Amino acid sequence: MKPCLHIAIPAMAEADFLPSAMAALLQQQSAYPYHIYICVNQPESYWESKPDICQNNQASIAYLQSLKADIQIIDKSSRGQGWVGKHSGVGWARKTLFDHIMRIAAPSDIILSLDADTLVDKHYCQAVGDYFSQHPKSQALALPYYHPLLENNNEQANNEAINRAILRYEIYMRLYHLNMQAIASPFAFTAIGSAMAFRVDFLQKIGGIKPLPSGEDFYLLQKCCKIGQVGHDCATIVMPATRFSERVNFGTGPALIKACQGDVKSYPFYPPSFFESIAQAYGLIPDIFENKPMETNDFLDFLETQFKDKQLWQPLRDNLKDLPHFRQGFHEKADGLRILQFLKQRYALGDLNEKECLQANLQKHLQEDFPYQNLQETPFDYLASLREKLFERELAVRKMQG
């Protein structure tokens, strides 16, 4: 019997985007049964401070009810139903959806995490269901993604600025993924909340999702990498909207706002040499296990400083008596968060030139040179072409990752 797919969608002020997203979901051609759950949400206090969002949410509920489709609405927006206190944001909306589905779904079912502004093709459900059927050892899936560019219209100048910003952000994310995969890091994934899927029994095992105000997708996938197996190669692509958003502290929406204001320092192009330092540390794991004297390594030194412990690995040696388990323990400490912190610190301390960083990355991953001084001065067509090349390269890498 085929597993049932449960599509979980948080929505806040999404009345303009929901019709397109629902049209895409309701035309699915899938041999797998699927159900849609939408948590329309906002803090209760918004009825006083941001009534426009509340009215938008009420319009979303009315629209969803008019569809008369298999859509379950979880109302966390009507008067008296909104979030109270710290229990708010997309993290709580995803948790509410996941927890509800885990209570009613079969252990073999699949939860698909989507967003209300994200488009999918008509084979989305079939492709995700097929992936888990064909990969029984995978407990989670980080799907390929692609942000559509805004069309030129009366706001052409503003749209071009937003398009340039999303292209830069995607180039940053894809280079990060490619560099992490090149060093065989267990944390070579891209965390996008609208591009994830999980087995229900695995989510139950790890306690579901932690309801953080931002980054809940990153921490969930990182936890999955530590405990299970995350897949990356799926025969469909999700297409999140290219739009400004201030509803989370970091991620695509805030990145676009910062980029359009000229602030790109939060999303730099880390040179491959930074990742090579991490790869060197990975190669030293057998020596660390045996407590052999070693040469200095930047990443290992960073970890000792970060944890404020010069004997960081001794408890692992005491408790994990063979190399495979020690290696796993190493990666649980030196996880994706620590890697990102290391890269950010090292980048901040260096006197790095964007052109040189891009040049090194493009030579490594595309075997070509970067012909401009920086991305801000590059022609738009070049940016779009570079995104396409890195997208194709990443798809090839995802096939190798499985």
- Nearest CA to 330 out of 295, 361, 296, 288 is that of 288
- Enumerate the domain spans of the chain: 5-145+190-236, 272-351
Please give the mean pLDDT across all residues of the chain.
Answer: 91
User: pTM of the full predicted structure?
Assistant: 0.92
Q: Over 80: is that where the pLDDT of 104 sits?
A: yes
- Percent of the chain topping pLDDT 70: 93
Q: Over 60: is that where the pLDDT of 253 sits?
A: no
338-356 mean pLDDT:
91
pLDDT at position 151:
79
pLDDT at position 158:
77
93-107 mean pLDDT:
96
Of the candidate ranges 105-119, 229-243, 261-275, 278-292, the one whose mean pLDDT is the lowest: 261-275
pLDDT at position 76:
97
Strands in 47-203 per DSSP E: 71-76, 110-113, 140-142, 196-199
Residue 377 carries which DSSP code?
G
- The CA distance from 130 to 86, in Å, is 38
Tens of pLDDT, residues 12-57: 999 999 999 999 999 999 999 999 999 999 999 999 999 999 999 9
Report strand pairing: 34-41 vs 71-76. parallel
Q: Over 80: is that where the pLDDT of 252 sits?
A: no
Pick the more confident residue, 263 or 79: 79
Helices (H), 238-379: 252-260, 272-283, 285-289, 298-307, 314-319, 323-333, 336-349, 354-365
**Amino acid making up residue 257:** I
Instruction: With beta carbons less than 8 A apart as the criterion, state whether 120 and 239 touch.
Output: yes
* Interacting residues of 215 by C-beta distance below 8 A, sequence separation 6+: 191, 248, 249, 250, 251
pLDDT at position 196:
96
Of the candidate ranges 148-157, 189-198, 330-339, 372-381, the one whose mean pLDDT is the lowest: 148-157
Domain 5-145+190-236: give its CATH superfamily: Spore Coat Polysaccharide Biosynthesis Protein SpsA; Chain A (3.90.550.10)
- Percent of the chain topping pLDDT 90: 77
pLDDT at position 248:
47
* Interacting residues of 157 by C-beta distance below 8 A, sequence separation 6+: none
Cβ-in-10-Å burial (0-12, 13-18, 19+) of 265 comes to: exposed
Q: Over 60: is that where the pLDDT of 289 sits?
A: yes
Pick the more confident residue, 211 or 235: 235
Of the candidate ranges 62-66, 141-145, 253-257, the one whose mean pLDDT is the lowest: 253-257
Of the candidate ranges 136-140, 204-208, 293-297, the one whose mean pLDDT is the lowest: 293-297
